[in-house]
Amino acid sequence: MTPLAIAGLGTPELLIILAVIILLFGAAKLPELARGSGRALRIFKAETKGLMDDDDNTAGATPEQREIEARQQAELDARQAELDAERERMRRNDNA
């Protein structure tokens, strides 16, 4: 395997993929595409870090906080069930 292999792809495969990307997006759009991808990855990384921090915070929550969160989640679940039922009623009315 070559040292440039990424996910089992060798140099020729990566060059072919790069050529297809250039053909699809054009050379002028590549810097913009790279910037957008970088921003998306930074946002994704920040969000996943936030989720991990939330998990850590939940582990240290007091029983009262956990009870409040459970009550809020139950209310959200009930509201979601109401919305789903309303959506289904509207869908049936549209088909009738």
What's at 3, amino acid-wise? P
Which pair of structure tokens corresponds to residue 33?
């595409």
| Alpha carbon separation from 96 to 5, 9, 91, 92, 93 (Å, rounded) | 57, 53, 9, 6, 5
How far is C-alpha 37 from the geometric centre of its chain's CA atoms? 13
Look up the domain containing 69 and give its range: 62-96
Q: Is residue 92 part of a domain?
A: yes
Judge residue 38's burial from the number of C-beta atoms within 10 Å of its C-beta, 0-12 exposed, 13-18 middle, 19 or more buried: exposed
Give the pLDDT of the chain (96 residues) as one tens digit per residue: 445 556 778 888 888 988 888 888 888 888 888 888 889 999 999 888 877 776 666 566 688 888 888 899 999 999 999 998 988 888 888 776
| Total tally of structural domains belonging to the chain | 1
**72 within some domain:** yes
How far is residue 50's CA from residue 43's CA, in Å, rounded to a whole number?
10
Answer yes or no: is 50 within a domain. Answer: no
> Is the pTM higher than 0.85?
no
The answer to whether residue 24 sits within a structural domain is no
The answer as to whether 87 is a domain residue is yes
